[in-house]
Structure formats: C-alpha cells, structure tokens
Amino acid sequence: MTARRILIKLIFLGTLILAGYLLTKVFHQYSMADIIASIGEIPAERLLKSGAFAAASYLCLTGFDWLGLRYAGKPLAYHRAAIASFTALSIGHSLGMAALSSGAVRYRFYRRWGLNSEEIAKVVLLCGVTVGLGLIALSAITLLANPVDAGKALGLDLKSTLLLGLGCAAVAIVYLILSATAKKPLTIWRWHFHMPGLSIAIAQMFLGTLNFVFVSACLHQLISAHTQVSLLSATTAFVLANIAVILTHVPGGLGILEATVSHILPGDASVGALVAFRAIYFLLPLVFGVIGLTVAELSLRRRPPSEDRGEGRSEARKHRAQTA
C-alpha cells in the first residue's frame, strides 16, 4: 500500500471520528424518545413544504449539468442531464468529497452517451464552480444582510464581517468580468479549459445561488415548526455550515452541519428539525439515487454502447445546427 493511499485512509478515518464526536456533542443530551417526539411535533404541512424545497434544490442542480454539457460542447437532451445529475449528487451528497464521488457516477453515464474524459472533466468542473459561485454569492448576501449573526458565528466584529461580505461579492463580480473578457484557454496536462461565456456565467450565478436558497428554505421550514426563526437567519446558519462541510470533507457533512447550525441557532435548531432535514435532503434522495443508478446500470448493460454514443452525437449535431 502506497503512502498516498495510507494518508487518504487516515484522513477519511479522521473525518469519521470528527463526525462521530460532533454528533455525540449535539445529541448526547437527548434520548431516542426525545428525538422521535421532536420529529413528531413537526406538522405534516411543514414536512411537505420542506420536501418541496428539497426537490426544487435538486431541480436546480440538474441545471448545473445542463450548463456543463453546453460548456463542454456536448449538449445532450435535458432528461439525460437530469438523470445523471440527480443520481450523481444524491449519492455524492451523502458519501462526501462530492467532486470525486458524484464525478465517478457522472462518468458512468456520460461516457456511455458519447463524451470523452476531457469533456466529462469539463462538465464536472463547471458543476463544481457553479456550486462555489452559488455559495460565494449567497455568503455575500448573508454577510451583508445579517452581519450580526454571521459575525458572532465567525468570531468577527461588524466591520470585518462586512468587509468579508464585500470580498465575496467582489469574487463573484470578477468571475463575471473574466467570463466576458478572458479568451485564452488554461491547459492542464492534455486538456484545455476556457472561461464560459457570460450567459453561462450569469446562469451559473443564478442557479447556484437559488439552489442554496432552496436548501436553506428546506431547513427553515423544519426549524420554524418549533420556534420563530427568520429565513435569513436559517440561511446564514446553513451557508456557514456548508462552508464548514466543504472544508472538512466529512461524508454528507455528518455532524458538522448539525453542530454548526446548533451553534449559530442555539435553542432554535431543535434535534427533531435537524434529523428531519438530514432525512429529507440527504437520506431520501440517496435511496432514490441508488435505485436509479442500479436501474441505469442494468439498462445500459442491455443496450449497446454504440447506440448511446450515436444518439449523443446526433443530439450534439442538432444543437450545433440550431445555433449556427
């Protein structure tokens, strides 16, 4: 076993230990009966609304792949982008290191649909950048609109929080400027990457931000079942929690998300709301994603790969003809 593999396994083990510690810290004062009772106090209407916001988030995520395919020059039909996106991300969100785990699932789909390794890498890259743009844009909004709560969570004074918010806004603006002006491609190994056009960049910013707004609304519906919490406060808590999840790479943000939200919204984020949120946004999609991947693998094995690649090339030619 190489030193690199040993290091990766040690990091993975460390993240699991951290997740277990944080889960224990958040839930140690509750019995199973308390957790079940807390979940039971959430009205069915709020559970349904939370599920609808979660579905809206995954719908936004399908737009990431749709944009990525156009950026890569392989504009497949939307239903294919949606299938690959939902399957990949419903699994990747729970496994952690989403760029790798969801990227592997995307590769299974897009390779059969005629994309080569470089084109798939471009799709994965654009999707990852879109996630980052959405998080940066919404971070700017929450830091500037809710600097008091954000500052307390980050340990910053008001001035520093506002400057950080302006910095996030500047990053988003610079990306848009570069998408409109930068023409020289970036070469990595044998692959060439270029900035997306301004229209794609604007769509990235919009869909990326809207996705996180929907996830925050999903969490807000559940937390509000127990106490009055504004959507802005819930969004601030989720944005900061998601940053912590990305930095730690804990699978599914297990423990990190719960601990961060509980820290930012002490007393407001009930244990039932946090458990219900994980079930609605992570576990339920994971079940459907695994089922979808299994069905897709079985159906793709029965279908000749050449047939899929032929359809993929046909869709690409049709798109080029329409845009010519």
**Residue 324 pLDDT exceeds 50:** no
Per-residue 3-state assignment (H helix, E strand, C coil) for the chain: CCHHHHHHHHHHHHHHHHHHHHHHHHHCCCCHHHHHHHHHCCCHHHHHHHHHHHHHHHHHHHHHHHHHHHHCCCCCCHHHHHHHHHHHHHHHHHHCCHHHHHHHHHHHHHHHCCCCHHHHHHHHHHHHHHHHHHHHHHHHHHHHHCHHHHHHHHCCCHHHHHHHHHHHHHHHHHHHHHHHHCCCCEEECCEEECCCCHHHHHHHHHHHHHHHHHHHHHHHHHHCCCCCCCHHHHHHHHHHHHHHHHHHCCHHHCCHHHHHHHHHCCCCCCHHHHHHHHHHHHHHHHHHHHHHHHHHHHHHHHCCHHHHHHHHHHHHHHHHHHHC
Res 163: pLDDT: 95
Q: What is the mean pLDDT of residues 247-273?
A: 73
**Residue 26 pLDDT exceeds 90:** no
**Residue 65 pLDDT exceeds 90:** yes
Res 33: pLDDT: 67
Across the chain, mean pLDDT equals 81
**Residue 279 pLDDT exceeds 80:** yes
Res 1: pLDDT: 59
- pLDDT one-digit tens code per residue, 31-61: 566 567 767 888 999 999 999 999 999 999 9
The answer to whether the pTM exceeds 0.95 is no
Pick the residue with more confidence: 23 or 162? 162
Q: What is the mean pLDDT of residues 214-228?
A: 89
Res 103: pLDDT: 81
Band of residue 215 on the pLDDT scale cut at 50, 70, 90 = very high
- pLDDT one-digit tens code per residue, 79-110: 999 999 999 998 887 776 665 678 888 988 99
Q: What is the mean pLDDT of residues 162-183?
A: 93
Q: Is there a contact between 201 and 179 (Cβ–Cβ < 8 Å)? A: yes
Q: Which residues contact 160 (CB under 8 A, 6 or more apart)?
A: 151
Q: What is the mean pLDDT of residues 128-156?
A: 90
Q: What is the mean pLDDT of residues 128-140?
A: 94
Pick the residue with more confidence: 226 or 70? 70
